[in-house]
A and B are shown apart, each in its own frame.
Chain A
């Protein structure tokens, strides 16, 4: 299945370009905001490149989710689910291929943007070291969980739910505390934020940038919540897949 998605990706240069386009534009935009804010905000000035790091990591979450959803949507658009699931392909194997492609798409999108931050702003997100890898892993896991739930919703509600693939992750941006601390949020929203792995990751990022310290407590929360959400998302996906087989949606759903 990874081969199938790779054939699709390599056969279209606009698709490849699109992968890196938005992360790069976002990085440049937030990079200049970062530069400007650094001249007027002590908080931003102290954390050189904090906004650039945040936007790049946010894109890991978004691209991770989108990578799973888009590969699934490719099958819907081409009405290929019928062929796939009369073959010996198991749903779990398909999920792994969606995740593998999501990882590839995310890396192809985010790495060029991260590299361009160096000539543009003299900032390397790779300077975060090992914590960067841990933040990346947690955010992409959360993206995959969201992607699986979106697939289940599209299997249930058809292509009318396709738009969810582009909006669901952004609904979580305000409570993920990407560009500001969780403490900025009102009390009840803070409770929501702490239930998200992303909020713990971005708090952890700021701890590394400002204090040079890895907040293992935040990491532990992020890992635990991700494990919980991934288990739930796989369950929701498998249930949605089973219901699609009951309703005959695998052969019928498409544009």
Chain B
């Protein structure tokens, strides 16, 4: 019988700073990425602009190929934009990304940690890379919080999907990031583990005031976690707003229905205003 981790909602209340005087956690202007392919130039992200307020949880929605992962890669600095500008915590990522990388982190089930190293070894290595002073203690604390203590000496490659996700989350939280980018954090997890991860993230945000940008295909998850939602389609942001605003705007009961309306109709209300360059379309 697997012992459940401690209840994450028991964490400390919010200590977030007042965000009003500070630049947004994430600021993106005219961000564009084109790839040269054998079939010609493909525009994966097309003049995207948005801001993510400090301490907020923002969902990045879109179908496969909408440009979510490409956008996140550019935010992280591992992909150079063709044009446009990204600022994280007020720092220009094109020129000074190393000044801010220690204050952010990333987790994705599709980018696994080295399989041959044990969980402890992987977390230790990344703890050092993020410049932690007490790596052992931090790893031990995270292992307790994320119920990883039993797996610390096991090779990362031998873990189940749920265990790997928790290890990836532990790696992403090693430096207690101010900006956390998550690519489908609960993909392929059972409902119990997925719920636990969501509660952990809620508690983490409340305790640290961190900003979270979350790419997800799980609409109930987005409705539950996110203060704001960006909807991408064909490389563009076609709509943005609080989940409740989107539901009201589209006259729908769930975010999943809104998502389907946008994906199938091709345009949303904002798109018809010209953000995606279209001139109209069926309103849901």
Contacts and interface: CB of A to CB of B under 8 A. Distances in A.
B43 interface: no
Interface in A185-210: none
A87 B79 contact: no
B73 A12 contact: no
Given A83-B171, A251-B73, A251-B78, A89 B129 contact: yes
A7 B125 contact: yes
A83 to B, nearest CB: 6
B114 A78 contact: yes
B78 A86 contact: yes
Interface in B103-151: 104-106, 111-118, 121, 124-126, 128-131
Given A4-B125, A7-B117, A82-B111, A88 B35 contact: no
Interface in B66-116: 70, 73, 76-80, 98, 101-102, 104-106, 111-116
B124 A11 contact: no
Contacts of A246: 79-80
Given A78-B116, A79-B111, A83-B171, A245 B80 contact: yes
A248 interface: yes
A8 B98 contact: no
A246 B80 CA distance: 5
A242 B80 contact: yes
A85 interface: yes
A3 interface: yes
Contact of A83 (B35, B111, B131): B111
Question: Which 4 A-B pairs have CB atoms at the shortest separation, nearest pair first?
Answer: A78-B114, A4-B125, A87-B129, A88-B101
Given A78-B115, A86-B76, A247-B35, 6 more contacts: A79-B111, A83-B106, A83-B113, A86-B78, A86-B104, A245-B79
Interface of A: 1, 3-4, 7-8, 11-12, 74, 78-80, 82-90, 242, 245-248, 250-251
